[in-house]
Amino acid sequence: MAMQEIACFPRPPQPCCSRAAETPEAAVEDFGGRVCICHDAACAAAAADRQVSPMIRTLITASARSLRMLAAGVVGYALPPRCPGCGVVTPEDHQFCVDCWRELDFLGPPACATCGIPFDLDRGEGALCGRCIADPPAFDRARAAIAYGPIARRMVVRMKHGGRPQLAITLARLMERLLEQDEQVVLAPVPLHRWRIWRRGFNQSALIAGALARRKRLVAIPGLLTRVKPTPMLRGLNPSARAKAVRGAFRVDPAHRPQVAGRVVVLVDDVLTTGATANACARALRRAGAAEVRVIALARVSPGEEGR
């Protein structure tokens, strides 16, 4: 597919953020087609700061968010339920059509006991993959509900950039089997940098964590972890570059330290790729005294696709 230049936001493009997307879809996935495809969020945030005063920006963002929410509510009320995978009309909300349901690849054993990467053959209970043996992650266990494929991708993109935050409930329904009923568990979403929350209006992982907490009667703390530095887009980076990019990017909010010390914290994310972000979050949780850190996600990118 031909390369396509996407205009930066705001114009004019900054020299360091006028790169081309591999496909128009990739740009849409990253930024909803509204901002540049820059891999340096700090650069774009700085550009936005130069162009718009903080008060105006806050007002614009809040208004746009309210309108989006209102529109989503009106549309949701007026239209029948649709399959989250393909959009055909279904009898109930959050219900997949037969074809999409068949296409979902639910993950389970055999898999690495720590990171959950699927194994072709059963290697026995407690078996670890090569990566976890060579470089044990800071989390105790990571699991995803389904393999990352066209349906998972479509749902995540529509939720994040298509004005469909209510898809968090669909995702939570798919993910809830990954949670054990444990009253000591605290759910913590992987945080977004505040600039990205301003742009998008919400943190998708926080919405999923909230939906999971309601369904499983658990506690979710959206601000438990904070992202203390903007990180570049990880797409296209190899595992070691990803790990380096997110190192030191997260910390536990000091106000929430008592809710972490000695507790089991379940980190909630939408997509697991190499686990670099989850690992950086888990390190911060360990430093704050978490007894155990588990990670759950909607979808896992297969190891062969990680570098894309």
Residue count at the site for Zn ion (CB under 5 A)?
Answer: 10
The residue behind tokens 């006028």 is: 18
d(CA 189, CA 223): 8
Range in contact with Zn ion (rule: CB under 5 A) among 7-15, 106-114, 157-165, 220-228: 106-114
Answer for which of 21, 45, 85, 156 binds Zn ion (CB under 5 A) is 85
- Site for Zn ion contains 301 (CB under 5 A): no
Cis peptide before 10 (omega within 30 of 0): yes
Quick one: residue 187, left, alpha or beta (phi over 0 = left, psi -120 to 50 = alpha)? beta
Nearest distance in Å: CB 84, Zn ion: 7
Nearest distance in Å: CB 260, Zn ion: 24
Range in contact with Zn ion (rule: CB under 5 A) among 16-24, 53-61, 129-137, 167-175: 129-137
Range in contact with Zn ion (rule: CB under 5 A) among 84-92, 185-193, 231-239, 300-308: 84-92
Cα–Cα distances in angstroms (integers) from residue 68 to residues 35, 61, 121, 166, in the given order: 17, 10, 47, 12
Cα dihedral value 18, 19, 25, 26, nearest 10? -120
Answer for which of 47, 83, 159, 246 binds Zn ion (CB under 5 A) is 83
Nearest distance in Å: CB 140, Zn ion: 12
- Site for Zn ion contains 208 (CB under 5 A): no
d(CA 293, CA 67): 37
- Site for Zn ion contains 115 (CB under 5 A): yes
- Site for Zn ion contains 100 (CB under 5 A): yes
Site string for Zn ion, 132-161 (x = CB under 5 A): x-----------------------------
Answer for which of 6, 8, 45, 112 binds Zn ion (CB under 5 A) is 112
Closer of 96 and 198 to Zn ion (Cβ): 96
For helices 204-216 and 167-175, angle between their N-to-C axes, nearest 10 degrees: 60
- Site for Zn ion contains 97 (CB under 5 A): yes
Range in contact with Zn ion (rule: CB under 5 A) among 52-60, 90-98, 185-193, 258-266: 90-98
Residues 24-53 that bind Zn ion (CB under 5 A): none
Buried b (16+ CB within 10 A) or exposed e, 234-245: bbebebeebbeb
Cα–Cα distances in angstroms (integers) from residue 260 to residues 192, 208, 222, 239, in the given order: 19, 20, 13, 28
Q: Is 122 exposed, middle or buried (0-12, 13-18, 19+ CB in 10 A)?
A: exposed
- Site for Zn ion contains 129 (CB under 5 A): yes
Nearest distance in Å: CB 21, Zn ion: 27
Cα three-residue angle 114-119-122, rounded to 5 degrees: 95
Contact in structure between 234 and 246 (CB atoms under 8 Å): yes
Q: Residue numbers of the site for Zn ion (CB under 5 A)?
A: 83, 85-86, 97, 100, 112, 114-115, 129, 132
